[in-house]
Amino acid sequence: MHTDLQYPFDPQLLLRKRKSIKRELLSTPNLMDKHIAILGGSTTHDIRDMLELFLLDQGIRPVFFESEYAQYWQDAMFDNPELAALKPDVIFIHTSNRNITSWPELDDTPEEVNAMLGQTLAHFTAMWDKLRETYHCPIIQNNFEYPFYRLLGNQDAVNIHGRVNFVTRLNMKFYGYAQAHEGFFINDINYLSADYGLGKWSDPFYWHMYKYCCCMDAVPYLAFSVSNIIKSLFGKNKKAFALDLDNTLWGGVVGDDGVENLAIGPETSMGQVYTEFQQYLKAHKKLGVLLNVVSKNEHENALAGLNHPDSVLKPDDFISIKADWEPKSLNLTRMAQELSLLPESFVFVDDNPAERAIIRQQVPGVPAPEIGQVEHYIGVIDRSGFFEATNLSNDDLKRNEMYRENAKRAELQAGFADYEDYLLSLKMTAAIKPFEGIYMSRIAQLTNKSNQFNLTTRRYTQEEIEAAAADPGTVTLYGKLEDCFGDNGVVSVVIAEEKGDALDIILWLMSCRVLKRDMESAMMDELAQRALDRGFTKLIGHYYPTAKNGMVKEFYALQGFTKVEEDGQGSTRWELDLSGGYEKKQHVIQVQSES
């Protein structure tokens, strides 16, 4: 991750060095290509340039379509060959209160104001509906920032003729649309402008001179916000915290000061600050973010600190606690391996700048934010957008529980000499079925999050997943796994297309938290049976190498396929002959399936 692009960043430096930073980032291997359409109601070329930098830093190489000035409506509502040729993966509509064409007047009746509100909303909803129908991709829409003046003073927020009141009501209508429509997301420039400072954000000079909806220095913040939504949609969110303890979760050094002298709890102002930070971290568990400790400490001292009567976070809140005197970079890497996560899935939080620098150097891709003083820990982490919530599934809400259950499975495994006996003791049951409406969001989410056990790393929007499910020439399967310790949720996805006498597997992925549980063989058995039921005599598989999916390089060989092709980049093509029938591979999972 490029240090200049990490929050808090210097907007003037980014605007000045955009070309050189772009050249550096384009050399990053294994970038994900995505087509982004920007439909602007004001000047957007600087937003495009900044958005490109942030997306490249997050592993996404964008190809842009950009509207001419203020042509957002025309490009959305009427045929535009250039936009159609792009086949956008995401559409970003960049409008602001400068694009509201009708405002209430003091002599308007309530009925006239309401009609004006409805007409303004209809202008946008017609556009959103048209774009959804035409392009079937996620849409990101700015809400409206407050006006930079208030004719009625404080009453502007209350009186129906006030512009503040009008913007508030209009924003609420936008949120209602977002709540009712999958794949529609709000870029909250109302919050961004307030956080930045509305007076500076809306400086009229930039509108009248350049037709910018915000001041130049605010452009990187706006673009960063949009990039966080996009990277979340395509599975680039972080998944876990790796947290220091001393002077990070509490004030003081537990081994030197003693538990009784730590700054935590309501008795002192500094203790209250640390308590608020712990409350903020604990709230992330509800998002499915995993909490972990990486601390240079005696293990007993670490547990004693976490068991402080006023500590919000207790030992049971953490999936892994590594408190010893090993280098933190080594412990973080080990932790990632144990949890079947990539190291870059973690956010490292430590008050010590030397430790942060070591992590950045030794474990590339792991952000170690410059958190500053404890009063600013929350602000820096929160505005960094590591865990931007777009699609929040039930599996997300249960993720901490699932990882804790995995730890119990590991304990059980240690008591068995025979691995198959261990698997049988788990009493696993799997539902392997065609895609169902209730799981469409989770399936789309998995296609964008799974990197290690992912043979082709194709990414899908929810609309594309629904289209695959509806296509009679496509076989879709999801796998949901339960055992005696709990429900793992939807953990595997397969999509295969009819191709002559074969089923061509274009997507096969599995969550790494169920590795070595024979779920991949259960999916293979079900796919082969469905191929035979449809009269196919062959399965075709593909492996496209990335920096992260080397673990499945020989997956098809292990499933009995024959390699028939390999190119210079290591991409391979495999075939399995079904003409003589198929013998099931797994015998430890009880599978429920349906046609």
SS (H, E, C) 289-338: CEEEEEEECCHHHHHHHHCCCCCCCCHHHCCEEEEECCCHHHHHHHHHHH
| Residue 212: its H or E element | none
Please say if the pLDDT value at position 259 is more than 90.
Answer: yes
Please say if the pLDDT value at position 189 is more than 80.
Answer: yes
Mean pLDDT, rounded, for 287-302: 95
Given pLDDT bands bounded at 50, 70 and 90, which one contains residue 180? very high
| Range(s) of the chain covered by CATH 3.40.630.30 | 416-593
User: What is residue 404's predicted lDDT score, i.e. its pLDDT?
Assistant: 76
| Residue 142: its H or E element | strand 139-142
Max alpha carbon distance in the chain (Å)? Answer: 84
Count, residues in the chain: 595
Mean pLDDT of the residues in the chain:
94
What percentage of the chain reaches a pLDDT higher than 70? 99
User: What is residue 466's predicted lDDT score, i.e. its pLDDT?
Assistant: 92
Kindly give, in sequence order, each residue whose CB lies less than 8 Å from that of residue 464, ignoring residues fewer than 6 positions away: 136, 444
Please say if the pLDDT value at position 233 is more than 60.
Answer: yes
Mean pLDDT, rounded, for 190-196: 98
Q: What is the DSSP letter of 3?
A: G
Please say if the pLDDT value at position 260 is more than 70.
Answer: yes
Please say if the pLDDT value at position 393 is more than 80.
Answer: no
478 neighbors 433 (Cβ within 8 angstroms): yes
User: What is residue 509's predicted lDDT score, i.e. its pLDDT?
Assistant: 94
Given pLDDT bands bounded at 50, 70 and 90, which one contains residue 552? very high
| Range(s) of the chain covered by CATH 3.40.50.1110 | 3-233
Amino acid at 348: F
| Range(s) of the chain covered by CATH 3.40.50.1000 | 240-383
Mean pLDDT, rounded, for 325-353: 94
Given pLDDT bands bounded at 50, 70 and 90, which one contains residue 7? very high
Given pLDDT bands bounded at 50, 70 and 90, which one contains residue 1? confident
Mean pLDDT, rounded, for 129-154: 97
For residue 32, give Cα distances in angstroms to 135, 276, 300.
20, 37, 44
User: What is residue 415's predicted lDDT score, i.e. its pLDDT?
Assistant: 78
258 neighbors 309 (Cβ within 8 angstroms): no
Token pair listed for 177: 């649309």
Mean pLDDT, rounded, for 232-260: 95
Q: What is the DSSP letter of 251?
A: B
CATH pick for 3-233 out of 3.40.50.880, 3.40.50.1980, 3.40.50.300, 3.40.50.1110: 3.40.50.1110
Chain mean position to CA 489: 18
Give me the architecture of the 240-383 domain, per CATH: 3-Layer(aba) Sandwich (3.40)
Mean pLDDT, rounded, for 469-488: 92
57 neighbors 85 (Cβ within 8 angstroms): no
User: What is residue 595's predicted lDDT score, i.e. its pLDDT?
Assistant: 53
What percentage of the chain reaches a pLDDT higher than 90? 83
Say how many CA atoms lie within 13 Å of 215 toward its Cβ: 17
User: What is residue 548's predicted lDDT score, i.e. its pLDDT?
Assistant: 82
User: What is residue 374's predicted lDDT score, i.e. its pLDDT?
Assistant: 96
Please say if the pLDDT value at position 434 is more than 80.
Answer: yes
Domain spanning 416-593, CATH class? alpha beta
